[in-house]
Structures are given as structure tokens and as C-alpha cells.
Amino acid sequence: MVIAKRVGVDVILWLVVACFVVEGNERARPIAGPDIYEGRNVAKDVLAPGEIINNVMSFGAKPDGKFDCTQAFMDAWRATCKSKVQARVLVPLGRFVVSAMYFAGPCTTPGPVTVQVEGTVVATTDISEYVDGEWLMFQDLSGIKLIGGGTFDGQGKDSWSQTENCETDSDSACVRAPSSIFFSRVNNGIIQNIKTLNPKGFHIFVTNCANIRLRLLKLTAPGTSPNTDGIHISHSINVKISKSNIETGDDCVSMIQGVNNVTIKRLKCGPGHGISIGSLGKYQDELEVRGIRVENCTLVGTTNGLRIKSWPEKYSGLATDISYSDITMENVKNPIIIDQEYQCSPGMQPSLVKIANVGFINVKGTTISPIAVDLRCSKQFPCENIQLHNIDLKLLGPILPSGARCANVKPVYGGIQMPPACP
């Protein structure tokens, strides 16, 4: 199924009802089947014997950065997805303007479908065209590879002034700006060796997915661009992020409810808001966050480092089995922070989210915050088994040494502790 915005009004309305995705509690975490890429060299792209290459230019696309190529991309995808033999979409060198569209399955190819982008895919700037909430939507697919070394230019600059802040404590519906690449109900997906530039909203949004690999990515937006999370994950299991560089105006990686078994390795983050879990406890009946591993990452000039955050007095939740190891910080504000007072106002009740079994191991570097380790847990549900081992964070400038703050938590310490452990 392939849908663009220039189809009939009735079809558009049907899609809005059927496919619109919200951040609430309507979804369940998917069940992960076999990981078809396990043990395979996913870095190497090899044409299958007899594989058909559907070049978008053969379907009418023009690489001039002006012509609307949406229909051509739709037709190329349809020919690829419905092929009985192995096939791929090829976007060659050039600039191809595309409005919001679906790359939707299920597909009939024998193996995973490849979308090979070598040129630049450019979003239209009229925000009213994005009635389904995202730009390029990959949905209901079992086996997809998005590769090629090309660029997705969201042309978000003009829309940033209209961006709503969905992190405010409000029960009213908040409309996010369109994500550039949106994976929903995808099993066994790879996003590799691509670049995204200036998205209107998130660079990449992964939700209701299983067995997803994101590697060799370069995601870029100004540090002042609002709500431009690099990789946003919800309701997904078995996600691996590696060897990527994210410079953006919000979280480099953000994980919310329903995320299970996520590994982040060799990521460079900054500018941005760091690597975040949460905010949690915003919705009723949230699924737990469990099994997060962040390893061998570098954060440079970010406004937060390693952060777990939850709302006060709203709904219950759980974040557990989380580890951060071998992390380097350079001029980072709030390097280690558990904030269960997120968006808290005087008189509000404590957070109902439980945070337990979290380890910060071998975290070193420099900070611009006098409080380098800030653990503010819920009075009603104190944090449990929070471990800090070999923490060496030095405050920049001729001021006092960095300090620590702890509330409703009794951390377990080991090795070097700079700042000194909480009393």
C-alpha cells in the first residue's frame, strides 16, 4: 500500500483514523520473532541474483530539486513491494522533492526490501501537507533496509517557529511536528549509512517495532532547533544503535514507555540534550522500560548527559535494568541525572514511577555544572539499587569542585568518586 497526500479527501480521512499514531497507552510492545540479521554482516550490501532495481527516475522522478516526485516514489515503491522476485528502490544522485507518503507493506518479495538512497530526498515545506503526522512512513513491514549514503533533508527551519512543546504538563492534545523517517510495526529493519538534515520534528521515530538496527548515521540540526530528537523510541524491543553521530536541538536518543532491550554503542552526541529515558508516568497504564545498555559513548556540550526523568503525581511506571558504561563527557551540563521532579510545581505530589537497578560505570570527563551527579528520586517510590562506580567528572573553571545531590535514594558506590559521594 502506498499513499500520498494528493489522493482523495475520503482516503486521507480514512488514513488519519487508521494510521495516526499517538504517544499514549493504546499500543502494546510487539513480540519479537527471529532476528534475521543476527550473525550476518549487515554492513555489506550485495544484490541478490536477479534482483530488480527500480530507479525512481524510470517512474518519472526528476533530480532538479523542484519537481514533485511523490507519485514517482509511490509507483517505484509499489513495483518493488509487490514484486514476486527480489527488488529494490534506487534513488540516484540528485535532489528529489517528496511530500508525505507511506512505504507500507506487507510486501511479497522473497527477502527484505531495500530502499537505496544515494541522492538527497527533500521534504516539501508546506506543513499542511502532513496530515498523517510524519514525512516518510515505513509501516507494516517484515524486513526492510534503508541504506545508500544519501541524505533526507526535512527543510524544517521554517516550521520550527510553529513547533508545539509536547513536554509541558498539559492534558490537551499536542501535535508533534512531522518526523523525517518513521518506522511503525516494522520487524527486522535496518537504517544504515544515511544522513538526515534539519527535520521538522524527530529525525527518526521507531515505534511498535522489533529487531531494528540503526548504524553509521549522521543526524544534524542546529542546537537551537526545537523538539528535533535524533532517535526517538517507544513500544519497541531489540533495538541496536551504533557508530553514529547526532547533533541536534533535543535529545540525541530518547526512550519512553514500552522500550525493552536497547543497546547504544559508539555514539557521539552533541549539541543536544543527551541520552534520555522518559519522561515516564505521563500516561495511564504505561509499559515498563527495561534492559537499556549505553556503552562507549561520547557527549560533547550537551545540556544533559545521562538522564532518566519522570512526571510527578500523574501515573505509575517502571524503569529497571539500565546501565551506562565507559562514557566520556566534554563540557556537559548535568552529566548524571535522575529527575523525578520533571516539570514539577510547588505542591505537586511525588512521582509514581519506580526506578531501580541502574548502573553508572566508568563515567569520566568535564562538566559545566556545579552538581555533576544529581539523583532526585520519588519520595513515595524511592530509587533502589542505584550504583555509581568509577565516576570522574571535573568542573571546568576556577570554581569549587563538582558536587553531588541525592534525595530519596541510597546509592551504592565503588572506585573513584568525583564528585564525592552524597553524605
∠ CA(59), CA(180), CA(73), 5° rounding?
Answer: 5
Taking the alpha carbons at both ends of the chain, their separation in whole angstroms is: 60
Length of the chain: 423
**Using CA atoms, how far apart are residues 74 and 58, in angstroms rounded to an integer?**
12
3-state secondary structure of 138: strand
Name the residue with cell 533495538.
239
Q: Is 235 designated active site?
A: no
Element (H, E) at 73: helix 70-81
Nearest to 186 by CA among 133, 276, 115: 115
**Using CA atoms, how far apart are residues 357 and 349, in angstroms rounded to an integer?**
24
Q: Specify whether the CB–CB gap between 182 and 136 falls below 8 A.
A: yes
Say which residues have a Cβ less than 8 Å from residue 215's Cβ, sequence separation at least 6.
42, 43, 190, 191, 192, 193, 240, 241, 242, 243, 244
For the residues of 279-342, what is the DSSP string, one character each?
Answer: EESSSTTPPPEEEEEEEEEEEES-S-SEEEEE-SSS--EEEEEEEEEEEEEEEESSSEEEETTT
**Using CA atoms, how far apart are residues 183 and 115, in angstroms rounded to an integer?**
13
Say which residues have a Cβ less than 8 Å from residue 145's Cβ, sequence separation at least 6.
45, 112, 113, 114, 115, 189, 190, 192
Residue 18 has, within 13 A of its CA and on its CB side, a CA count of: 10
Name the residue with cell 548515521.
217
Say which residues have a Cβ less than 8 Å from residue 86's Cβ, sequence separation at least 6.
48, 50, 51, 52, 109, 110, 111
Element (H, E) at 13: helix 9-19
**Using CA atoms, how far apart are residues 257 and 279, in angstroms rounded to an integer?**
9
Identified catalytic residue from 203, 235, 273, 389: 273
Catalytic residues: 273
